[in-house]
Amino acid sequence: MIIAVDGPAAAGKGTLARRLAAELGLAHLDTGRLYRAVGLAVLRAGGDPEDPAAALQAAESLDPTMLDDPELSLDRAGGAASKVAVMAPVRTALLALQRNFAAKPPGGASGAVLDGRDIGTVVCPQAEVKLFVTASAQARAKRRHKELLGRGEASIYARVLADIRERDRRDSTRAIAPLKPAADAILIDTTTMDADAVLAAALEHIPK
């Protein structure tokens, strides 16, 4: 079984995907971390994430162990990820890795849960279950703001909201694999839901 979980930043798709994988005994891949790793690698090399050559080089030489780097959770990695993700060569370089994970889940798992921006539309259009998790920009900004403060990082809500809106604009208007629900995706609006309610809603649509 392949479950695709798509949605904008801070909508709760990552939490849902991890919990679904644990609940169903499936492998989990946060594809956003791939793009974050590429963007962060460019920054660490002193490059510009909007430089196609630097971004492609980082994607083609991506070290899988970097996916566990705690710095990938920082906003600077997220911003860089949104910039490298608009580049077709970068997406192509990472596409095979994502599809291979879905086709051959590690650890002998019977399936996989992948979350990102284009899983149901591009990476795994054949997925048995496609979920699109969304929430208002204000709700997502409040979650991200609280998360940053909880990690001891400086955060200003207005700036977080502006960043969320800019990333939404960039992700939804890019020419390659824009953020949008698959035609057969199930929409889950998490604006007023907690994580348990989101999980319960998703499980209702997954074949037993």
- pLDDT tens figures, 116-147: 999 999 999 999 999 999 999 999 999 999 99
- C-alpha separations of 42 from 7, 64, 67, 121 in Å: 25, 15, 15, 27
pLDDT digits (tens, 9 = 90+) for 19-78: 999 999 999 999 999 999 999 999 999 999 999 999 999 999 998 889 999 999 888 998
DSSP tag of 182: -
What tens digit of pLDDT does each residue of 149-187 get?
A: 998 989 999 999 999 999 899 889 988 889 999 999 999
Q: Token digits for 193? A: 């839901």
Predicted local confidence at residue 29, as pLDDT: 95
| Mean model confidence pLDDT for the chain | 94
CA 21 – CA 29 distance, rounded (Å): 9
- Domains of the chain with bracketed CATH: 2-202 (3.40.50.300)
Res 182: pLDDT: 96
Query: Cα torsion at 103, 108, 111, 114 (round to 10°)?
Result: -70
Residues 6+ away with beta carbon under 8 Å from 101: 27, 29, 112, 114
DSSP state of 122: I
